Structures are given as structure tokens and as C-alpha cells.
């Protein structure tokens, strides 16, 4: 043990409430995998002595590690004989415990027909609450942070609760230059590949048959951004995905389509702009000129909000570090 750094001991058990060794094994993980993750992510050393954990490192890091171990032990309840804690759950707990403001917070949730959706981070929870409070909401951040999925969940909730009459899903089809006339099929079939992430979220929350029926009834509408020109979208929940690939004129066009009783959520990642060289992103422009406009909320996500495989988080962080150093 490195005597140069302070150490604190966390005791999970007591005489009155002894530790459950099966749960302790699940907490630590196979070959102490979970403990190694805690050490790597929080920059501490962790030495297990039965039900005691000796933690060594900077005081703030040690305190976070203590909270993480306590939370993981709570999560092992009822898991005896199971496969144990998923690695992604360990990373999620570390992320949520890393900031004191996120402790003991009840995150926002949506009750969709097929499954409840609960925010997994403080940023996600604030994003969902912003959608409730504002008519125009921007969700900005890297892939995997849930910005599109949560927007769809809120749209489904609004539709089920009859707060809106329809859901409109929009995406700039930059790969096809917005010119879809030569592709086979109707408009839905033409843009289907580009709206697949939105379809997937709808299927998960409403079911395939119900989504198909709502599309047939024009209650759910999927369209490329170019088809929004000249329309007024009233009593609708509008989601524009991949907003970083709009031009300034396209962004202005969509935002000025908003009618009474409507809500617009725009999601995007400014690190993944696919516009032709020399074309300024409409999303970046909008964030600059609209940030102080009443009724508009800008919510930003970071790598710590990523809820996909933990490797995705580390990949995004590596790219962000590289871009900062360039």
C-alpha cells in the first residue's frame, strides 16, 4: 500500500447486519473485475479485506468510490445465483455518483405504453424536464447519450396523454442531397433508412403494429426536412434528428413552422457535421443566436452521459481529447 496517500476503510457489514458473502462476490465481480473498473475510473486503489474495503487516493476520489461500492452492494440484493452486475451498470453508477449533485436525486421518467423510460443521468433528467417546460428544446451531445431516444419517449407520452394530435419526425437527408425523387417507393420508404433510429425507438415504446397503424392514420409522420417548407405544424410534437446537418436557411425554415400547441425538439452532435465543405451548420448558428430567446432551452450532454456500451464512452472521450489538442 502506498503510504503517501491517505486511506479510508469502508465497512459494509456489522455485528447486527453481517455482510452477505454471495452479494459481496457479485459486487466485486469475476476476478475482481468491478473493483478494477472502480480503480481505473476513479484513480484510487482498493484493497478488500473480507467485508471491508480500504480505499487509497485523493480524498474526493475516495469518497466517490465509497458511495459507488455502497450503491453497487445495494444493487446486488436478490441477485444471488445470477450472472451478476453488468459492466455497463458499474460504469453508470460511477458516472452518477461522481458529482454530489446527482446523489439521491429522483430522475425524470416517462410511462410509455410498453415500458417506462427513466433518465440515467442528471443531464438526461434535466433534458426531459426542459421538454416539459419549453416549446423549443435543443439536445446537443455525442452519440449514445439518449438525446434522440428520450425525445421520442416524450413525444409518445404527449401523444398518449392527448397533449398533441400527432408526432412529426424530421431529418435532413444530407447523404441524398435532399433529392429523393429517384429512389423507389413512397416517401416513407424513400427516407426509411435515414429515420431508422427514430423508428426503432417508436417500436420499442409503442410496438410495431401500433406504429404502423399510426403512420397509416397520419398521426405519426416521417418526412425529410425539405418537405416541411410552406407548412405550419400545429398541435404537433416535432423531432428533428441530426440537426447539425442543416444549413442556416433550413434551420430557420423548420423553427418558423412551429404552430400553436406544438413542441419542437432538435437533436444533434456538432462533432459529426456532414455538410459540404464551406457550408456553415444551421445548428451551430442557431445555438449562437437563439441562446437567450425566451421559450428555448439548450441542453448539452457529455461523454459521461453515454448509455451504450462503456467502450463507446471511452472512444468519444479519446476523440474529444484529440480534437482539443489539435
* pLDDT tens string 159-210: 999 999 999 998 887 653 445 555 555 555 666 677 788 889 999 999 999 9
Report domain extents, the chain.
7-102, 109-325
Residues 175-192: b if buried by 16+ CB within 10 A, e if exposed: ebeeebeeeeeeeeebbe
170 CB-near residues (< 8 Å, 6+ apart):
223, 224, 225, 228, 238, 239, 240, 241, 254
Is the per-residue pLDDT at 14 higher than 90?
no
Percentage of the chain surpassing pLDDT 90? 40
pLDDT digits (tens, 9 = 90+) for 272-317: 898 988 899 999 999 999 988 999 999 999 877 877 666 766 777 7
- Give the CA count within 13 Å in the CB-facing half-sphere of 235: 8
Is the per-residue pLDDT at 80 higher than 70?
no
Q: Which residue has the higher pLDDT, 322 or 179?
A: 322
pLDDT digits (tens, 9 = 90+) for 108-125: 888 888 988 988 888 899
DSSP codes of every residue in 289-314: HSTT-TTEEEEE--GGG--S-HHHHH
> What is the mean pLDDT of the segment spanning 1-28?
78
Minimal CA–CA distance to 272: which of 251, 245, 250, 301?
245
The CATH classification number of 7-102 equals 3.30.1370.10
Joined together, the cell numbers standing for residue 113 give 405504453
Task: Name residue, grid cell 480534437.
Answer: 323
- Nearest-angstrom CA–CA distance, 213 and 275: 34
- Nearest-angstrom CA–CA distance, 31 and 17: 26
**Which class is 109-325 in CATH?**
alpha beta
Axis crossing angle, helix 208-216 with helix 196-206, rounded to the nearest 10: 110
Amino acid at each position: 500500500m502506498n503510504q503517501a496517500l491517505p486511506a479510508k476503510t469502508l465497512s459494509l457489514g456489522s455485528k447486527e447486519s453481517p455482510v452477505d458473502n454471495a452479494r459481496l462476490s457479485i459486487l466485486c465481480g469475476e476476478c475482481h473485475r468491478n473493483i478494477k473498473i472502480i480503480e481505473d475510473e476513479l484513480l484510487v486503489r482498493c484493497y478488500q479485506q473480507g467485508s471491508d474495503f480500504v480505499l487509497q487516493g485523493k480524498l474526493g476520489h475516495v469518497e466517490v468510490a465509497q458511495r459507488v461500492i455502497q450503491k453497487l452492494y445495494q444493487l446486488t440484493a436478490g441477485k444471488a445465483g445470477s450472472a451478476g452486475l453488468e459492466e455497463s451498470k458499474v460504469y453508470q453508477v460511477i458516472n452518477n455518483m461522481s458529482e454530489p449533485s446527482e446523489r439521491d436525486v429522483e430522475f425524470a421518467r416517462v410511462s410509455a405504453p410498453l415500458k417506462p423510460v427513466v433518465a440515467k443521468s442528471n443531464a438526461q433528467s434535466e433534458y426531459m424536464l426542459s421538454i416539459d417546460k419549453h416549446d423549443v428544446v435543443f439536445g446537443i451531445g455525442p452519440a449514445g447519450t439518449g438525446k434522440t431516444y428520450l425525445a421520442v419517449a416524450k413525444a409518445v407520452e404527449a401523444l398518449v396523454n392527448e397533449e398533441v394530435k400527432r408526432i412529426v419526425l424530421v431529418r435532413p437527408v444530407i447523404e441524398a442531397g435532399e433529392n429523393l425523387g429517384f429512389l423507389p417507393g413512397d416517401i416513407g420508404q424513400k427516407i426509411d433508412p435515414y429515420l431508422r433510429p427514430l423508428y426503432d425507438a417508436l417500436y420499442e415504446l409503442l410496438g410495431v403494429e401500433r406504429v404502423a397503424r399510426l403512420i397509416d392514420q397520419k398521426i405519426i409522420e416521417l418526412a425529410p426536412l425539405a418537405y416541411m417548407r410552406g407548412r405550419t405544424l400545429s398541435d404537433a410534437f416535432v423531432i428533428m434528428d441530426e440537426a447539425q446537418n442543416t444549413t442556416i436557411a433550413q434551420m430557420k425554415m423548420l423553427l418558423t413552422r412551429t404552430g400553436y400547441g406544438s413542441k419542437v425538439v432538435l437533436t444533434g452532435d456538432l462533432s459529426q457535421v456532414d455538410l459540404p465543405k464551406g457550408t456553415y451548420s444551421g445548428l451551430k448558428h442557431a445555438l449562437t443566436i437563439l441562446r437567450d430567446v425566451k421559450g428555448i432551452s439548450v441542453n448539452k450532454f457529455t461523454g459521461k452521459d453515454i448509455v451504450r456500451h462503456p467502450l463507446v464512452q471511452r472512444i468519444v472521450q479519446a476523440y474529444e481529447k484529440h480534437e482539443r489538442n489539435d
